[in-house]
Chains A and B, each alone.
Chain A
Amino acid sequence: MNECERMRDAMVDVAAARTAWNDHDAAHLALCDDCRESWTVVSAAAQLGRASSIDGARVAAGLRARLVHAPLSAPRKRWTELAIGVAAAALIGLGLTSSHRATSGSGDRIEVPTEQATAMFPELEALSEPQLKVILAGVADADADLDGGAAIPRLGDLNDEQLEELILSVEGE
């Protein structure tokens, strides 16, 4: 870092009145056109908008009104319940399918008509493709376990990360 770059970094603290120029820097500033021009820009930026009057009380009052009408925890809770419900439905479906596979004595995948699948799990129809992919990823993991002779999957087969991803995708954030 050269001297002028160091000065440009130091300008932020001086412009914010957290410190003042020391003798060395003041002397450099007096002699260096480049730094004086930089200081003009940085010090002007520090003043930008200081004349504006943001009414913090009005913002806070408006915010309070919105918070009253939209309790904070409710949306996340609702979406969490939806996500868990959908995941549970998908996993129960997988369990039924796997049980059928086991009793049929065949390792072949059972084809379920689309209409039948959506009738079984109407919640799935409301989900977008990315949301369905998250669920399928969890189902695929459980399916792999089944093929290895593990027990029928349970609700916990969607890990925290997958659930969080699903929740965020449902909330659109």
Chain B
Amino acid sequence: MAAIAFELSSDEDLVAAWRRGDELAASELVHRHAPALGRYLVALGAASSDVEDILQDAFFRAFRRVESWRGEGSFRGWLFRIGANVLRDRFRQGKGRTVLSLDGHDVAHHADPAAELVASDIEARLSAALLRLPPMQRAVFLLRAQQGMDYNDAARAAGTTPGAARVHYHHAVRQLKEWIQ
């Protein structure tokens, strides 16, 4: 019964339950957000083989600091920002296998050919093109197009303003069209 109740609960309610010490609430938040966050992290450049470890780190960090989420934005946007920060920290520590910088340097290649084999041609080209985008454009584009976030959530998740997010998204679409055609 508790599990069914949790499935119907909002993120806010689950976070409140977790703060009261309910571990099932934490598990539900993981089940709810891990797949989408994992897809986002892989598209940002994480190796598929590392993504579950990165997710664990991201959720661990999020639950440790959950008191700093005050509900002013969505839990999802806040969590995605933490996930991207964990990924960036891993690259800085040299734990990421993909040669990728989230700091505006550049990208050499995607190191996960197995994942690319199963992707369609257009998705493979898009994956490669994404890694050529400046980091903020890449993040905002993915938060919008892949994750379906509105500009407010995408901005919070990427650490920018909604207005700037809008500009990044449109620039990214224009640039990707050019590279993919």
Contact = CB atoms under 8 A, between A and B. Distances in A.
Nearest to B174: A38
Contacts of B13: none
A54 B170 contact: no
B31 A173 contact: no
B34 A54 contact: yes
* From A49, A50, A57, A75, residue with most partner B Cβ within 10 Å: A49
Interface in A43-83: 44-52, 54-60, 62-64, 66-67, 70, 72, 75
Contact of B146 (A11, A48, A57, A72): A48
Interface stretch (A13-21, A108-116, A131-139, A152-160): A13-21
B176 A58 contact: no
Interface in B146-181: 146, 148, 166, 169-170, 173, 176-177, 180-181
B60 A48 contact: no
A41 B126 contact: yes
A1 to B, nearest CB: 9
Given A40-B180, A64-B27, A8 B170 contact: yes
Contacts of B3: none
B180 A59 contact: no
A62 B180 CA distance: 39
Contacts of B27: 60, 64
Q: Which of B43, B64, B122 has the most CB of A within 10 A?
A: B64
A56 B39 contact: no
A13 B148 contact: yes
Interface of B is mostly: helix
Contact of B170 (A5, A46, A75): A5
Given A5-B170, A72-B63, A49 B146 contact: yes
Interface centre among A12, A45, A58 (most CB of B within 10 A): A45
B175 to A, nearest CB: 9
Category for how many chain A residues contact B? 35 or more
B38 A49 contact: yes
A6 B40 CA distance: 24
B22 interface: no
Contacts of B123: 44, 47-48
A84 to B, nearest CB: 18
A48 B34 contact: no
Interface string B88-132: 000000000000000000000000000100111011001100000
A55 B180 CA distance: 31
Interface of A: 5, 8-9, 11-13, 15-16, 18, 34, 37-38, 40-42, 44-52, 54-60, 62-64, 66-67, 70, 72, 75, 173
12 contacts: A15-B145, A41-B145, A41-B173, A45-B146, A46-B146, A48-B43, A48-B123, A48-B127, A56-B31, A59-B59, A60-B34, A66-B56
Closest 3 CB pairs of A and B: A16-B148, A49-B39, A45-B145
Given A40-B180, A54-B34, A59-B52, 9 more contacts: A15-B145, A40-B122, A40-B177, A41-B176, A44-B122, A44-B126, A47-B120, A48-B43, A56-B35
